[in-house]
C-alpha cells in the first residue's frame, strides 16, 4: 500500500540544536542496530520506520556493520527509503559509521583512511544514497594516528559524501584531541555518540562537560540499557526479547537478581512520577540540556510510540534525582 506520512508529524516532537551547529535533531532518534537485518521481518522493520517518521523522528542512525548479517540493515533501509520515503530524503537526517570489523583483511576494520573512505562508499551503495548527513568514526583506533582518522572524516565531508562529522565511543581525552584536530582542518565534529543510561554513567565524568565547552552535541545510545530499563524483565525473560533473541550484546546472564532488584525499585519510582520505567529512563537523560537527542531502538512499532511518552515529563525534582542515585549505587 502506498505510504502517506502523517500530516501531524511535526506537531509534538521537540527538536534540539546539535551543539553550536545549525542542525537540529528530534529529542528521540531511532537506531537500526537490531531488528533491521536480513534475519528480521522486513514488514516489521518497515512499519517501525514509518511509525518513526509519522511521529517526527527525522533522524535514523545506522552503521556499516548493523544487521545481521553486517550491511543488511543499510540494505533494508535503502529498500524502505525507496518504497516509502523517496520524496522525503530532505526531511531526514541519516547517519552511518565505520570503525568495527566489516570485511576480511587489513583494510576492513578500525580507523585508517583506507577503511573509512571505502566503507562509506559501500554504505552509500547499500542505501542508494548520494550522501549521509552524519558520518561517524565508530570507535577509537589505538594504532592509526588520530590525524589520519580525522583527515578521513575531513576528506569525506569535503567530498560531499557526508554533511557532518561525528565521533563515537571516544573517551574525554581522545575526544578532546579529535575535536582539536578536526577544528584545525576546518571540518568541526558536531556530535558525539556515547553509551549512556541510568546503568552506564561514564559520560558524567568529564565527557558532557567537554562537549558543552566545545559546543558539540551528544546523542546517547542504548538509553534503555537494551531493554533492561523497562518493565519487560520484571516477571521473567520473554522469548521475544533481545536477551533471548540476540544473546550476544545482551543475554540472560545480564538479567541478574541484583539488576532485577534495581529495576523493581526504579519501576516503583517511575510509577510515583506517573510514568512507565521506559519513559522515566529516557526522560532522565533528556533532563540535561547538553543532550541533543536520545537514540532508542525498537523491536515493534508500538514500543516506539510508547517510548515517545517520555517527552511529556522531562523534569525531575532534586529529591527524585537523589532517590534514583540511591537506587543506582
Ligand atoms: N555507537 C555505538 O557504538 C552504538 C552501540 C550500540 C547502539 N548504537 C545505536 O543506538 C541505537 C539504540 O541502541 P539500543 O537498541 O541498544 O537502545 P535501547 O533503546 O537501549 O534498547 C532498545 C530495546 O529496548 C526494548 N524497548 C524499546 N522500547 C521499549 C519500550 N517502550 N518498552 C519496552 N521495551 C522497549 C526493545 O527490546 P526487545 O528487542 O527486547 O523488545 C528494543 O529493541 C542502536 O540502534 C544504534 O543506532 C550505537
Residue 244 CA to residue 188 CA, distance in Å, equals 41
pLDDT digits (tens, 9 = 90+) for 259-290: 999 999 999 999 999 999 999 999 999 999 99
254 found inside a domain: no
pLDDT, residue 246, reads: 82
Q: Compute, in angstroms, the gap from residue 327 CA to the centroid of ligand 1.
A: 22
Q: Are 129 and 85 in contact (CB under 8 A)?
A: no
215 found inside a domain: yes
pLDDT, residue 131, reads: 98
308: CB partners within 8 A, 6+ apart: 13, 28, 55
Q: What is the dihedral of CA 98, 104, 110, 112, to 10 degrees?
A: -90
pLDDT, residue 237, reads: 93
- Any ligand 1 atom below 6 A from CB of 220: no
- Any ligand 1 atom below 6 A from CB of 224: yes
Tell whether omega for the bond before 42 is within 30 degrees of 0, i.e. cis.
Answer: no
Q: Compute, in angstroms, the gap from residue 242 CA to the centroid of ligand 1.
A: 9
pLDDT, residue 248, reads: 85
Query: In this structure, what CATH number is given to the domain that contains residue 31?
Result: 3.20.20.100
Q: Closest by alpha carbon to 172, among 220, 208, 121?
A: 208
DSSP string, 183-227: HHHT--EEEEE-B-BTTB-GGGTTHHHHHHHHT-EE--B-TTGGG
49 found inside a domain: yes
pLDDT digits (tens, 9 = 90+) for 36-71: 999 999 999 999 999 999 999 999 999 999 999 999
Site of grid cell 510514568: 275
Mutate to test the pocket of ligand 1, among 31, 94, 100, 140 (most ligand atoms within 8 A of CB): 31
- Any ligand 1 atom below 6 A from CB of 280: no
Number of domains in the chain: 1
222 found inside a domain: yes
307 found inside a domain: yes
233 found inside a domain: no
DSSP string, 140-175: --SSS-HHHHHHHHHHHHHTTSEEEEEEES--HHHH
259-276 b/e (C-beta count within 10 Å ≥ 16 → b): eeebbeebbebbeebebb
Please list the residues that pair with 17 across neighbouring strands: 24
DSSP string, 229-243: TSSTTTTS--TTSHH
pLDDT, residue 2, reads: 87
Per-position pLDDT tens, the chain of length 329:
789 999 999 999 999 999 999 999 999 999 999 999 999 999 999 999 999 999 999 999 999 999 999 999 999 999 999 999 999 999 999 999 999 999 999 999 999 999 999 999 999 999 999 999 999 999 999 999 999 999 999 999 999 999 999 999 999 999 999 999 999 999 999 999 999 999 999 999 999 999 999 999 999 999 999 999 999 999 999 999 999 988 789 999 999 999 999 999 999 999 999 999 999 999 999 999 999 999 999 999 999 999 999 999 999 999 999 999 999 99
Neighbour tally for 289: CB within 10 Å: 10
Task: Please state the atom number of ligand 1 nearest to the C-alpha of residue 238.
Answer: 40
Mutate to test the pocket of ligand 1, among 29, 52, 140, 221 (most ligand atoms within 8 A of CB): 221
Judge residue 137's burial from the number of C-beta atoms within 10 Å of its C-beta, 0-12 exposed, 13-18 middle, 19 or more buried: buried
Domain hosting residue 71, numbered range? 18-227+290-315
Mutate to test the pocket of ligand 1, among 298, 300, 304, 308 (most ligand atoms within 8 A of CB): 298
User: Which cell goes with 28?
Assistant: 528521540
Q: Closest by alpha carbon to 136, among 185, 191, 182?
A: 191
209 found inside a domain: yes
- Any ligand 1 atom below 6 A from CB of 99: no
Q: Compute, in angstroms, the gap from residue 234 CA to the centroid of ligand 1.
A: 18
- Any ligand 1 atom below 6 A from CB of 191: no
Neighbour tally for 85: CB within 10 Å: 18
Q: What is the dihedral of CA 281, 285, 287, 288, to 10 degrees?
A: 170
User: Which cell goes with 162?
Assistant: 557526508
309 found inside a domain: yes
Q: Are 26 and 293 in contact (CB under 8 A)?
A: yes
Amino acid at each position: 500500500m502506498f505510504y502517506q506520512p502523517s500530516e501531524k508529524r511535526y506537531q509534538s516532537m521537540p527538536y534540539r540544536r546539535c551543539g553550536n551547529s545549525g542542525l537540529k535533531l528530534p529529542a528521540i532518534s531511532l537506531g537500526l542496530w537490531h531488528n533491521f537485518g536480513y534475519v528480521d521481518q522486513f514488514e516489521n522493520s518497515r512499519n517501525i520506520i514509518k511509525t518513526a517518521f509519522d511521529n517526527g523522528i527525522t533522524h535514523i542512525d545506522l552503521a556499516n556493520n548493523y544487521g545481521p548479517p553486517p550491511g543488511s540493515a543499510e540494505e533494508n533501509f535503502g529498500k524502505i527509503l525507496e518504497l516509502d520515503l523517496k520524496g522525503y530524503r530532505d526531511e531526514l537526517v541519516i547517519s552511518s559509521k565505520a570503525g568495527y570489523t566489516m570485511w576480511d583483511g587489513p583494510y576492513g576494520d578500525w580507523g585508517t583512511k583506507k577503511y573509512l573512505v571505502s566503507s562509506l562508499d559501500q554504505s552509500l551503495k547499500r542505501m542508494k544514497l548520494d550522501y549521509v548527513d552524519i558520518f561517524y568514526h565508530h570507535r577509537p583506533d589505538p594504532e592509526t594516528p588520530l590525524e589520519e582518522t580525522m583527515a578521513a572524516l575531513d576528506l569525506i565531508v569535503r567530498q560531499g559524501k557526508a554533511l557532518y562529522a561525528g565521533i563515537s565511543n571516544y573517551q574525554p581525552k581522545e575526544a578532546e584531541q579529535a575535536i582539536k584536530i578536526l577544528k584545525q582542518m576546518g571540518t568541526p565534529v558536531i556530535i558525539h555518540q556515547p553509551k549512556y543510561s541510568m546503568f552506564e554513567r561514564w559520560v558524567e565524568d568529564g565527557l558532557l562537560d567537554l562537549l558543552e565547552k566545545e559546543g558539540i552535541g551528544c546523542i546517547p545510545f542504548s538509553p534503555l540499557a537494551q531493554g533492561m530499563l523497562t518493565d519487560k524483565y520484571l516477571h521473567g525473560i520473554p522469548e521475544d526479547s533481545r536477551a533471548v533473541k540476540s544473546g550476544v550484546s545482551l543475554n540472560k546472564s545480564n538479567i541478574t537478581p541484583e539488576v532485577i532488584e534495581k529495576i523493581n525499585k526504579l519501576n516503583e519510582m517511575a510509577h510515583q512520577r506517573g510514568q512507565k520505567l521506559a519513559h522515566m529512563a529516557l526522560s532522565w537523560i533528556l533532563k540535561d540540556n547538553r543532550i541533543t537527542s536520545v537514540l532508542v531502538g525498537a523491536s515493534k512499532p508500538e514500543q516506539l510510540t510508547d517510548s515517545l511518552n517520555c517527552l511529556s515529563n522531562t523534569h525531575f525534582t532534586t529529591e527524585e534525582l537523589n532517590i534514583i542515585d540511591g537506587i543506582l549505587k
